[in-house]
Amino acid sequence: MLTGAVTNVLKLCAGRPRPDFYYRCFPEAQLEGAEEVPWTLPLHCTGDNATIIEGRKSFPSGHSSWSFSVMTWCFLYISGKLATFSSKGEGWRLCVSVVPLLLASCIAISRTCDNHHHWQDVLVGSMLGIVIAYTVYHRYYHSLSHKHCALPLSHTIESTQTIESYEYNSYDLDYHEKEVKVALIASVTNSQLTVTSFQLLVTMIQTAGYNQHRQW
């Protein structure tokens, strides 16, 4: 939607005629009043009004911007999933990744072959689609050289928070274990391991196990 909105705004602002605008304006390939003197001709278009308006929307190419926007996204997504540009990237992964860009190029070039766009229209439309796709992609995924390029940003953030929580819980568990060991050593050293101290020791061990279960 973003690509289409930007492209249509530029089309309306530029109003550049298409290469086939003459045949849109004069579908019969003949000027109105051709029998008159050339510099006195009215030069009024005789074609369909909707076709004439569409003929003034050459810049930039909508097909080029749309195709490169979608296919560039596919290229970035496939490259990230296959880790094409990581240190372990292989040649076949690059070949698979660039297939969407080849399809987009064929679509863009066909617009000049059909005489619907100038080459400048195709070039600017293609660049517009690439920039938008690149910008939107990196709002949700890491760069292709990142070690987590296959994962979305939200997933890696949640994983980092989980690891930090696990480290904190492990530290808390170690603290309770140390309390239990200190109580045991103190009881044995003083030779006062009575029933009351033993019950206290069991209570501390149960507390440590309960805290571990609650934190996980």
Which residues are marked as active site?
Answer: 63, 117
- CA distance from start to end of the chain: 43
The DSSP call for residue 73 is H
What tokens were used for 34? 């051709």
Cβ–Cβ under 8 Å, residues 19 and 1: no
Sign, Cα dihedral of 128, 130, 135, 139: positive
Cα(80)–Cα(148) distance, integer angstroms: 8
Sign, Cα dihedral of 138, 141, 146, 150: negative
